[in-house]
Amino acid sequence: LHQGAPVQQQSYGYVMQIYGPKFLAAGSLFSARYVLTVAHCFRKNTKPEELTVRAGYEWIAWEYRDRPVAGLLRHPKFSPLTLRNDIAVLKVKAAILHSRKIQYIGLCSKPLSHKPNAQPQEVAGWSLMHINQPLKAISVQVEPQKNCGHWFPQLPGGVTCVATPKGEGLCYGDSGDPLVSGGEVCGLAIAFRKCGDRRYPALFTDV
């Protein structure tokens, strides 16, 4: 995340790192065996055995080959051209157990557009701007869909625009970063125009 504040990993124990074998994306652990992430980070022919999940770490690694993945399920109507339905689920071979550093997070119970903006909304994740990037978090605000269409006329359905008032935002390597609202993961980072450019919101696929 660009200009995000470093945070204590154990407060964000649901944020996973996905490797293949290099760092590919962030994911959200919503049960002991399943991780929610984005589909565009995987090739069409990516096999589950090429992927691993890293849990409970504050820093990213360049390569990682532990916690193998047993299954990869992309949304059947995912479009790599428009990023419509840009969502995927990984099933790990062995359960990732709840601990001081690892927690599960619930999936969104209502669309972001139906949640009050007064409710805290936050994005957490890593980026690939620097070596040894720590876990960071930023506060965000969901933009009305009419504003979203102004910046992105070809915006597909099921995608939400998210802005930050301080010039913070997504950067390279932030794909899959979870947007959390009301203790639930309600969006996954999929695209941005320029690192930390507050003139343009970032795009999140709805959960």
Strands 141-142 and 159-163: antiparallel
What local confidence, expressed as pLDDT, does residue 6 receive?
85
Per-residue HEC secondary structure of 34-103 comes to EEEECCCCCCCCCCHHHCEEECCCCECCCECCCCEEEEEEECCCCCCCCCCCCCEEEEECCCCCCCCCCC
Q: How many C-beta neighbours within 10 Å does residue 118 have? A: 6
User: For residue 45, which amino acid is it?
Assistant: N
Strands 121-125 and 178-181: antiparallel
Domains in the chain with CATH codes = 5-9+105-206 (2.40.10.10), 12-92 (2.40.10.10)
What local confidence, expressed as pLDDT, does residue 137 receive?
92
What local confidence, expressed as pLDDT, does residue 146 receive?
76
Q: What does the pLDDT profile of the chain (207 residues) look like in tens digits?
A: 777 788 888 899 999 999 998 889 999 999 999 999 999 999 999 999 999 999 998 888 777 777 999 999 999 999 998 899 999 999 999 999 999 999 999 999 987 766 656 567 899 998 776 657 789 999 888 887 777 777 787 888 889 888 877 778 888 889 999 999 989 999 999 988 777 777 788 899 999
What local confidence, expressed as pLDDT, does residue 70 receive?
97
Q: How far apart are CA 102 and CA 54, in angstroms?
A: 11
Instruction: Identify whether the C-beta of residue 31 lies closer than 8 Å to the C-beta of residue 96.
Output: no
**CB neighbours of 9 closer than 8 A, spacing ≥ 6?**
56, 57, 58, 101, 135
Q: How far apart are CA 107 and CA 153, in angstroms?
A: 28
Q: How far apart are CA 164 and CA 35, in angstroms?
A: 26
Q: How far apart are CA 99 and CA 96, in angstroms?
A: 9
Q: What is the dihedral of CA 113, 123, 5, 1, to 10 degrees?
A: -110
Rounded to two decimals, what is the model's pTM?
A: 0.92
